[in-house]
Amino acid sequence: MKNLYLLFSFALMSIFAFGQTPQAFKYQAIARDLNGNPVINQEISVKISILSGSPEGTVEYCELHQTISNSLGLINLEVGRGTAVTGNFELIIWGKNASFIKTEMDLAGGDNFVFMGTSQLLSVPFSLFSDNGIRSMTTEERDALVSPFTGMQIYNSTSNCLNYFNGTAWFETCGQCTPLPTQASAGEDQYFYDATFITTLQGNTPVYGTGQWSIVSGAGGNIANPENPASIFTGQAGTTYILKWTISTACGSTNDNVTIGFQGSPCGASFTDTRDGQVYPTVKIGSQCWMTQNLNIGTRIAGTTEQSNNATIEKYCYDNSEAKCVVYGGLYQWREMMNYSTTPGVQGICPPTGGWHLPTDAEWTSLTNYLGGESVAGGKMKETGTAHWFEPNTGATNSSGFTALPTGYRLTDGIFNDLSIYGYFWSTTEDGGSWAWYRYLSWSMDFVGRGNLDKQTGFSVRCLKNDTTTSQLNVTPANQDVTASSGTTSFEVTSNTSWTVEESVSWLSVSPINGSSNGTLTVSYDANSSSEARIGQITITAAGGNPVVNVTVTQAGVPQWNCGMLLTDTRDGKNYNTVQIGTQCWMAQNLNIGTRIEGGSDQGNNTILEKYCYNNSESKCDIYGGLYQWNEMMEYSTTPGAQGICPAGWHLPTHVEYSILTDFLGGTSFAGGKMKSTGTYEAGTGLWYTPNYGATNISGYTAFPAGRYGSNVTYYDLGSYAYYWSSSESGLNVARNRYLSNSSDGVSENNDYYKGWGFSVRCLKDN
């Protein structure tokens, strides 16, 4: 065989296949013998190898070609299209290191290859530099490249920037994410002092991004189409709302707030029930605003049919006559009136706009007291004359403007009675599971009577306007996370009264220190020189001392735990809700730690934390928490406020600390309702048995009726009572506790419960 040598060149084009990224490049060479004569029209075998780093580098890829030289001795190959021997052409990382092409040849077309030479590849293969555009590399990978070519570009995944090589060094360019969202504008604040409860929002239409309305504060509002900048918004009278308009793209978001205030029509003006268009006059009596006509809403059903919990408001009309409803209003069973709630003072079937509710027994008493007491108030409330009342309509002056009519009532057997003789009005206050309190007026007397009757009776209904004189105070957001450098941040304050501000730490300062209603609270903070996070609390107090809102500024460092977040007990991994009530931070669930033991055995002073579960059922502990004897709870300490079986950073509340809680909630006469979970077992909406009197849980304490374990190996009162130990003794074998009942909205205390009984445990965060 004659020795050959190759003169080779590379075509500056790539092969394209089916519109995909090219995975081959042209290779041309002229085969000549040692005398320089072209080897023409001859079958030749060629082995091509791609080497990395140097002429003697690692073979990243090798392929074979069978080709025939033409009449000039020229051979044409497509490197990347041959028969692969080693590696995968598509996986070659071009540009990471210098690349070399090694050529071997057999003139006879066999596999006795003769080395023909190695040469560095320069520009051509770099057209294959990435399958999907510029290759992504870290800074470390970029700096490991050997002899990158001038103009080479990469995406630097370390800095998230484009890098290019100018022949000497790498340069970096970083752009801005696009498109940035249009700056949001929520429009001008809107305030209404009439019967308006619906308005059109005035957000700007985004050029870039999509918009979204949300309600920041204010109850009972509805945004018809949250993505429409000009959406219809419906609210309630006496309520001020803060709405946020947010415009977002993948690059981020902008937002702006707007205040919408529905102050409502003045009392004394008529208003329209939007459900059926019926108009009701109103009257101011003392501090209360009453409808001066009986409610007449709903579909009439026969007196012999019970009103039911369905999608339709149902009413009775005296003698089954719609004309009687037009004059006297509808008659309603108690549950239908309440819309099947049991909460005193609910909206029930009162109009959904305008801020109306059903009066409680106490609110009826406020009315009659203002009018001189029950013995004389009736005459001041009755319509004058005898157009509707029978003679003599004693004492009727209607000086209050209440304009009571003698509507009679529907008996539980479906019979109607007492039209023109008596007027009967429900209150929302129950008297046991089946009865409720009501008021009545007579044709022959000028007094107001109070009685209790079966809820299946059909009485008239009057609606009372919500009290908007109670101090309101909302602050958004609830907390702020700020950077380590000094600067400012702000909170939006909405209030119907004046307020004052105090900050807890020296590195915070606030302005203004007081306000008259709505405003922006600006908080300045000093630079944080510590690597640890630090928290500053700001206390905002409404005029008169209630309500109080605490907000926090957390600056840099490790994220801090705040009251209101989940508490994880690291001992067993259980999570507990928490709640801020006044100055105290409470667990909002009963503690459930330890190994269950059967009733009949005392919990012992050993290395095992022991608990009882109601009726010896672990599932009851999962719902209601464990029950603990006093000594076990205290971990056999007698020190008030000890940690006991609470998680680290928490302790067992003392008698005094329970008093601080109930005092903050208005005293022991009312605090229970504010602490109890809402709903009833019978209605399938709660754990308390009916009536769960006064339960609103506005404190967030969420007391469950866990019952107790008795010293005689018996469990008592599940669903009816919640018992909580304090850590304060009252004697050698007795300790103080608090308890709540399904039949009362108060909180009771006992100073001499036997320590061997098993009660629920709540933990209080250390100061």
For the segment 715-742, the average pLDDT, to the nearest whole number, is 93
Q: What is the pLDDT of residue 7?
A: 44
Residues 671 and 759 in one domain: yes
Residue with token string 């409808």: 291
DSSP 127: G
Tens-digit pLDDT profile for residues 415-441? 999 999 999 999 999 988 899 999 999
Contact 28, 76 (CB under 8 A): yes
Tens-digit pLDDT profile for residues 357-400? 999 999 999 999 999 999 999 999 999 999 999 999 999 999 99
Considering only CA atoms, which of 478, 492, 476, 473 is closest in space to residue 554?
478
Q: What is the pLDDT of residue 145?
A: 83
Residues 403 and 498 in one domain: no
What confidence tier does 161 reach under pLDDT thresholds 50, 70, 90? confident
User: What 3-state class would DSSP assign to 118?
Assistant: strand
Tens-digit pLDDT profile for residues 448-468? 999 999 999 999 999 998 865
CA distances from 354 to 274, 280, 539 (A): 10, 11, 32
Inter-helix orientation angle 374-381/361-370, to 10°: 80
Residues 636 and 669 in one domain: yes
Residues 551 and 650 in one domain: no
Residues 206 and 156 in one domain: no
- Distance between CA 587 and CA 764 in Å, rounded? 6
For the cut 80, the answer to whether the pLDDT of residue 547 exceeds it is: no
User: What 3-state class would DSSP assign to 519?
Assistant: strand
Q: What is the pLDDT of residue 752?
A: 80
Lowest mean pLDDT among 99-103, 264-268, 333-337: 264-268
Q: What is the pLDDT of residue 13?
A: 37
CA distances from 323 to 320, 329, 415, 460 (A): 9, 9, 17, 15
Handedness of CA 663, 664, 669, 675 (dihedral sign): negative
**Share of residues in the chain with pLDDT > 90 (%):** 52
Q: Find the distance separating the first CA and the last CA of the chain, reported in whole Å.
A: 97
Structural tokens at position 373: 């007491």
Q: What is the pLDDT of residue 2?
A: 42
R_g over Cα of the chain: 41
Edge-to-edge strands, sheet with 114-121: 83-86, 58-68, 43-52, 99-106, 114-121
What confidence tier does 639 reach under pLDDT thresholds 50, 70, 90? very high
Backbone angles phi, psi at 134, to 5 degrees: -70, 135
CATH of the domain at 98: 2.60.40.1930
Handedness of CA 5, 72, 9, 48 (dihedral sign): negative
Q: Which of 181-195, 348-362, 508-522, 525-539 has the highest mean pLDDT?
A: 348-362
Q: What is the pLDDT of residue 484?
A: 62
Residues 400 and 534 in one domain: no
**Which residue has better confidence, 135 or 193?**
135
Q: What's the one-letter identity of residue 33?
A: D
Q: How far is CA 47 from the centre of its chain?
A: 67
- Distance between CA 542 and CA 473 in Å, rounded? 7
For the segment 546-567, the average pLDDT, to the nearest whole number, is 76
User: What 3-state class would DSSP assign to 13?
Assistant: coil
Q: How far is CA 146 from the centre of its chain?
A: 54
Q: What's the one-letter identity of residue 595?
A: T
Please list the helix, strand and coil fractions of the chain in percent, rounded to the nearest 5, in that order. Answer: 10, 40, 50
**Which residue has better confidence, 666 or 238?**
666
The answer to the question of residue 566 being in a domain is: no
- Distance between CA 361 and CA 728 in Å, rounded? 38
Residues 718 and 624 in one domain: yes
Q: What is the pLDDT of residue 446?
A: 92
Q: What is the pLDDT of residue 546?
A: 67
For the cut 80, the answer to whether the pLDDT of residue 6 exceeds it is: no
Q: What is the pLDDT of residue 341?
A: 93
Tens-digit pLDDT profile for residues 392-406? 999 999 999 999 999
The answer to the question of residue 20 being in a domain is: yes
Residues 645 and 744 in one domain: yes
Residues 361 and 436 in one domain: yes
Which residues span the domain enclosing 154? 136-173
The answer to the question of residue 470 being in a domain is: no
- Distance between CA 554 and CA 536 in Å, rounded? 7
For the segment 43-56, the average pLDDT, to the nearest whole number, is 91
User: What 3-state class would DSSP assign to 337?
Assistant: helix
For the cut 60, the answer to whether the pLDDT of residue 9 exceeds it is: no
Q: What is the pLDDT of residue 624?
A: 95
Q: Where would I find the beta strands (DSSP E) of 543-687? A: 548-555, 567-568, 575-576, 578-581, 584-587, 595-596, 610-611, 650-651
- Distance between CA 472 and CA 378 in Å, rounded? 34
CATH of the domain at 211: 2.60.40.10
Q: What is the pLDDT of residue 59?
A: 92
CA atoms within 13 A on the CB side of 487: 12
For the cut 90, the answer to whether the pLDDT of residue 720 exceeds it is: yes
What confidence tier does 558 reach under pLDDT thresholds 50, 70, 90? very low
For the segment 332-344, the average pLDDT, to the nearest whole number, is 94
| Per-chain mean pLDDT for the chain | 86
What confidence tier does 765 reach under pLDDT thresholds 50, 70, 90? very high
Q: What is the pLDDT of residue 122?
A: 66
Q: Where would I find the beta strands (DSSP E) of 12-94? A: 25-33, 43-52, 58-68, 74-79, 83-86
Tens-digit pLDDT profile for residues 92-137? 877 667 788 999 988 888 898 888 888 887 654 544 444 444 678 8
Domain boundary among 465, 497, 513: 465
Long-range contacts of 324-329 (CB under 8 A, 24+ apart): 324/419, 325/296, 325/300, 326/296, 327/388, 327/405, 328/294, 328/388, 328/405, 328/407, 328/408, 328/419, 328/460, 329/293, 329/294, 329/295, 329/296, 329/405, 329/407, 329/460, 329/461
The answer to the question of residue 572 being in a domain is: no
The answer to the question of residue 589 being in a domain is: yes
For the cut 90, the answer to whether the pLDDT of residue 147 exceeds it is: no
- Distance between CA 65 and CA 297 in Å, rounded? 92
What confidence tier does 3 reach under pLDDT thresholds 50, 70, 90? very low
For the cut 90, the answer to whether the pLDDT of residue 261 exceeds it is: no
The answer to the question of residue 561 being in a domain is: no
Domain boundary among 413, 433, 465: 465
- Distance between CA 5 and CA 680 in Å, rounded? 98
Residues 361 and 314 in one domain: yes
Instruction: Quote the number of domains for the chain.
Output: 6
The answer to the question of residue 563 being in a domain is: no
Q: What is the pLDDT of residue 758?
A: 94
The answer to the question of residue 181 being in a domain is: no
Domain boundary among 434, 465, 496: 465
| Count of CB atoms situated within 10 Å of the CB of 748 | 14
Residue with token string 């005296």: 318
DSSP 94: B
Long-range contacts of 602-607 (CB under 8 A, 24+ apart): 602/629, 602/756, 603/628, 603/629, 603/631, 603/632, 604/632, 605/631, 605/636
Residues 539 and 660 in one domain: no
- Distance between CA 583 and CA 675 in Å, rounded? 16
Residues 118 and 148 in one domain: no
What is the pTM assigned to this prediction?
A: 0.38
User: What 3-state class would DSSP assign to 326?
Assistant: helix
Lowest mean pLDDT among 231-235, 404-408, 642-646: 231-235
Q: What is the pLDDT of residue 329?
A: 97
